[in-house]
Structure 1
């Protein structure tokens, strides 16, 4: 049984300056590099066996220099996959739900400035029913540990995942977001099955 999530929402890493440093690295990437990295990552993920075998996939809206999965979202629609975006729970503000989206979905900005769909009846998925979740990150190490923004949204949403194979979890990042040190996860931090960057990937899934 995984440890109960701590209410502070803080990451397990003991070095808060590391998060600041890694956020700064991705923010410093110029528009050309951001776009180039996103295109390369889209090609890598799109030809992977994990992607091909997944039908219900959760994406995210990139902010703050995160690598943008918008190209993958467009490919998923063309390929007939069922696509979801994370939404802050309307009654439990520290929790995420995943809402089905189409090309025609209307989005609005949440309190963090992130575009998200309205969680309409019948379009909210059970997270356990998803095949694949693409997860944003601030930093990562080669053991699959993820450093997030420090709010704990994904760790809370994925707390059920211990000991399960699905949904598959792939953390997406730029190469510059690799930590120079092994991250020290807290008991509630959720490890990724795979870390994928534009150039390489590593983890427990088929090579990307």
Structure 2
């Protein structure tokens, strides 16, 4: 299949699922977040983790704020992605506590203010909870199109952390059109199911 056709297909899936996500009611979002949180905290890979990268939900993404509250209660350390100030397309992960002020970055996503003392290197993470727009039967992931997480996940095996995608149930599709830079996920959690590959 041609490169252009693949990109068109990906954009169609992306647009469709983002629209579905954004059309959820507050009640549907709340129920999904409650179920996801319960599933996540009982998953062994998360239960045994101490250093966890998380993300702040935007654009109808499944709500992870309940999860962060649970993690803080369990004395886990949480980190949020921050756009790298000079390596375009890359992320840094910074410590996030209930006291951390958040500022909107140029993509309109809340992030902690840049402070080198708060950065964690990827090899010190136990888990990276990853946003996604769609995933398929083989754990392939489709993101928002910026490639930020594909770059962050490039060497996850060598760095020793576990990437876990989280999404609404309807974000699963049968088969995604894959590009060579896509990184498949070993685990995806949805409100009603745990998907594991490998």
TM-score normalised by L of structure 2: 0.92
**Greater relative contact order structure (CA < 8 Å, 6+ sep):** 1
Query: Is residue 139 of structure 1 aligned with residue 139 of structure 2?
Result: no
CA drift at 1:33: 0.2
CA distance in 2, matches of 1:22, 1:84: 27
Q: Secondary structure at the match of 2:100?
A: coil
How many Å separate the matches in 1 of 2:189 and 2:71?
18
SS in 1 for 2:70: helix
Given candidates 71, 80, 100, the residue that maps to 1:76 is: 71
**1:31-70 alignment, distance < 5 Å:** 31-70=26-65
Distance 2:60 2:26 in 1: 10
Deviation at 1:166?
2.4
Aligned to 1:200: 193
Moved over 4 A (4+): none
- Which residue number in structure 1 is paired with residue 178 of structure 2? 185
Identify the residue that residue 166 of structure 1 maps to in structure 2: 160
Q: Deviations over 1:34-91 (max 9, x none)?
A: 1110011001111111111111000001000000111111111111111100000112
Contact persistence 2:140–2:183 (CA under 8 A): yes
Instruction: Return the offset for 1:121.
Output: 2.4
Compared with structure 1, are the counterparts of its residues 193 and 118 closer, same or farther at alpha carbon in structure 2 (3 Å cutoff)? same
Structure 1: runs of 5+ lacking an equivalent:
1-9
Report if the CA contact (8 A) 2:95-2:118 is conserved: yes
- What residue ranges of structure 2 are gaps of 5+ in the alignment? none
Match of residue 104 from structure 2: 109
Q: Going by fraction, where is helix more abundant, 1 or 2?
A: 2
Q: Which has the higher mean CA deviation after the structures are superposed, 117-126 or 61-70?
A: 117-126
3-state SS of paired residue (2:40):
helix
RMSD value, Cα: 1.7
Q: What does residue range 141-160 of structure 1 map to in structure 2 within 5 Å?
A: 141-160=136-155
In the aligned structure 1, how far is the partner of 2:28 from the partner of 2:162?
Answer: 28
Question: What is the number of equivalent residue pairs in this alignment?
Answer: 193
Query: What is the distance in 2 between the residues matched to 1:184 and 1:129?
Result: 32
